[in-house]
Amino acid sequence: MKRRDEETVNRDRRSFCKFVLLGACSLIVPGAALAAANRKPEAGGWYGTTYKPTEHLYGMGIQVDRCIGCGRCVDGCKKENNVPDEPFFFRTWVERYVIAEDGEVTVDSPNGGRDGFKGSVSEKRVLKSFFVPKICNQCEKPPCVQVCPVGATYKTQDGVILVDSEWCIGCRYCIQACPYGMRFLHPVKRTAEKCTFCYHRIVKGLTPACVEVCPTQARVFGELGKIASPLSRFRRMNKITVLKPHLNTEPKVFYADLDMEVR
């Protein structure tokens, strides 16, 4: 009696398991086939056809001795890229360094230098004083790209680090990982933002907005590896440094006349 019950129970169990497995497979297999059929990779429009990203590698040179701290670059960048106006979000900024004779260093960047610098600096015991523009270094070994969990920030084939605002989840790991403080969270879009070297301009042969409006040509834009490029001349004629070389990020923004006090 008991064994018959067991057999019936086993049969019921077997048919139930079969039902569940069949049901699952009947959803999964056609679902997979349907999805696979719908996948059509597309990059969109003109990219890679008229403009070939593999033929370019962009970089920037900054001549510190030419910067007058007027802030036109900061203002131009905010206007070109719709950066929020508040003093908490900058894709580029200018710092002022004042080095006293006893070695004490004072650094400031009021509103990123957008309205210029005001306030008198005591002339008496100042050894030297200068402005340093800062911008995303578009590193060749970007720590921000390394830590992005979803592939929302990436290095393009022409060397520019971009952010995919439609894919970014806003975890802010990249903001923590950037050694130069170059990234911020857009207050409205709630995604990470940074300087893009005005990618939308450079792929059309223009220069970034900050380079365009700099009155003293303190910012030099060009391509690495090209013989005839303003950047090549810049690198040839100046002793070049980069920011935080010990972190091995391989920045593509090169500084001439950079003082050791600049971080």
Q: Count Cα neighbours of 97 within 13 Å in the Cβ-side half-sphere.
A: 21
Nearer of residues 8 and 106 to other proteins, judged by Cβ: 106
Site for other proteins in 67-126 (CB under 8 A): 67-72, 76, 79-81, 86-90, 93, 95-98, 105-109, 111-112, 115-117, 121, 123, 126
Report the alpha-carbon distance of residue 154 to residue 133 in Å, rounded.
24
CB of 232 to other proteins, least distance (A): 20
Residue in 243, 214, 221, 79 with CA at minimum distance from that of residue 159 = 221
Residue 200 binds other proteins, judged by CB under 8 A: yes
Q: What pairs with residue 155 in β-bridges? A: 161
Residue nearer to other proteins on the CB measure, 87 or 225: 87
Q: How far is CA 61 from CA 11, 106, 191, in A?
A: 78, 24, 28
Q: Toward other proteins, which CB reaches closer, 202 or 231? A: 202
Residues within window 158-177 making contact with other proteins, judged by CB under 8 A: 162-173, 175-177
Q: Please say which residue, 175 or 231, places its beta carbon nearer to other proteins.
A: 175
Distance CA 211, CA 253 (A): 13
Cα–Cα distance measured from residue 203 to residue 73, given in angstroms and rounded to the nearest whole number: 20
Distances (CA, A) of 8 to 12, 14, 21, 185: 6, 10, 20, 63
- Per CB under 8 A, contacts with other proteins among 208-247 are 209, 212-217, 247
Using CB under 8 A, pick the residue from 2, 3, 4, 149 that binds other proteins.
149
Shortest approach of other proteins to residue 115 CB, angstroms?
8
Touching other proteins, residues 18-57 (CB under 8 A): 20-21, 24-25, 27-28, 31-32, 35-36, 38-47, 51, 53
Taking the C-alpha atoms of residue 219 and residue 90, their distance in angstroms, rounded to an integer, is 17
Q: Which of 7, 55, 65, 250 binds other proteins (CB under 8 A)?
A: 65
**Closest distance to other proteins from the beta carbon of 227 (Å):** 23
The minimum distance between CB 60 and other proteins, in angstroms, equals 17
Instruction: Name the phi and psi angles at 93, rounded to 5.
Output: -155, 170
On whether the CB atoms of residues 108 and 97 are closer than 8 A, the answer is no
Q: Are 255 and 240 in contact (CB under 8 A)?
A: yes
Q: How many residues bind other proteins (CB under 8 A)?
A: 123
Strand partners, 256: 63, 240
Q: How far is the CB of 240 from other proteins (least distance, A)?
A: 19
Residue 183: count of CB within 10 angstroms of its CB: 21
Shortest Å, Cβ 97 to other proteins? 8
Stretch that binds other proteins, among 150-158, 221-229, 233-241 (CB under 8 A): 150-158
Report, in Å, the least distance between residue 215 CB and other proteins.
Answer: 4
Minimum CB–partner distance for residue 5 and other proteins (Å): 12
Cα–Cα dist 151/25, whole Å: 31
